[in-house]
Amino acid sequence: MPAGTLYRGREGMWSWVAHRVTGVLIFFFLFVHVLDTALVRVSPEAYDNVVATYKTPIVALLEYGLVAAILFHALNGLRVIAVDFWSKGPRYQKQMLWTVMGIWVVLMIGALYPILGHAVREVFGS
């Protein structure tokens, strides 16, 4: 690459960024989860109020996002392991990323109804 040009990342760079972002999102979820669970010992009523807010359609969308982040992070982590420990891994990292993305899309479509079906039933009363 000629001097002075910006690095234009390809699949490897974007998967690296997505892996870091999903890792941070999962960490923050776990942090909030520990805090809201600990709230039960401080004030059971406050805990019940917090849990009641989790039964909204917006939180169902956030749960779907959480599943998406965890699933991508896990699948991409397996790809990273393969790249690092398989002698042919670096040669096939692009194909493995697209395989991970395909599996991720299929599983996310499969998770759509179980996770968001609750939100739809809440909104439309079915």
Rounded mean pLDDT for each run of 10 residues along the chain, 126 residues in total: 60 88 96 91 90 85 93 96 90 93 95 78 69
How large is the angle between the packed helices 93-124 and 57-85, nearest 10 degrees? 170
Q: What is the pLDDT of residue 1?
A: 52
Contact (Cβ atoms closer than 8 angstroms) between residue 73 and residue 19: yes
Element (H, E) at 126: none
Domain boundaries, the chain: 11-124
Q: What is the pLDDT of residue 4?
A: 54
Contact (Cβ atoms closer than 8 angstroms) between residue 89 and residue 83: yes
Q: What is the pLDDT of residue 8?
A: 65
Contact (Cβ atoms closer than 8 angstroms) between residue 19 and residue 102: no
For 81, counting Cβ atoms within 10 Å of its Cβ (0-12 exposed, 13-18 middle, 19+ buried), the class is: exposed
SS3 57: helix
Architecture of domain 11-124: Up-down Bundle (1.20)
Here the tokens at position 22 are: 């999903």
